[in-house]
Amino acid sequence: MANKISDETIEYVGILAKLELSGQEKEDAKADMEKMLDYIDTLNELDTDGIEPMSHVFPVKNVFREDIVTNGDGSKETLANAPLEKDQSFKVPKTIG
């Protein structure tokens, strides 16, 4: 394995992903990420100069909707997913922007 994931990196990725990992889980994740990076290195061996980066596998473009309201009151279905609910809203821990 050529790539090495440092403790700092796994800590940082954990913060970004909002994951709390145990010591063993961190070690496992490091090994997995190292394998992934090695695979990417294989792809990096290819010469991609002058090739447009691909963002989509199908040769499809300009798929649009017209600006017409098609959905009605969706609150019941949406709120069915709320672990906690109050005043027809999702209740979450106090969050200030």
Where does this chain bind other proteins (CB under 8 A)?
Answer: 12, 15-16, 18, 53, 55-56, 58, 60-71, 73-75, 77-79, 81, 86-97
The kind and range of the H/E element at 33 are helix 23-44
Which residue number, 45 or 73, has a Cβ lying nearer to other proteins?
73
Which residue number, 1 or 93, has a Cβ lying nearer to other proteins?
93
Q: How far is the CB of 27 from other proteins (least distance, A)?
A: 23
Which residue number, 45 or 67, has a Cβ lying nearer to other proteins?
67
Q: How far is the CB of 30 from other proteins (least distance, A)?
A: 18
Which residue number, 24 or 97, has a Cβ lying nearer to other proteins?
97
Q: 3-state class of 49 per DSSP?
A: coil
DSSP 58: S
Whole-Å CA distances, 46 to 3, 42, 50, 90, 96:
18, 8, 12, 48, 47
Contact call for residues 82 and 91 (beta carbons, < 8 A): yes
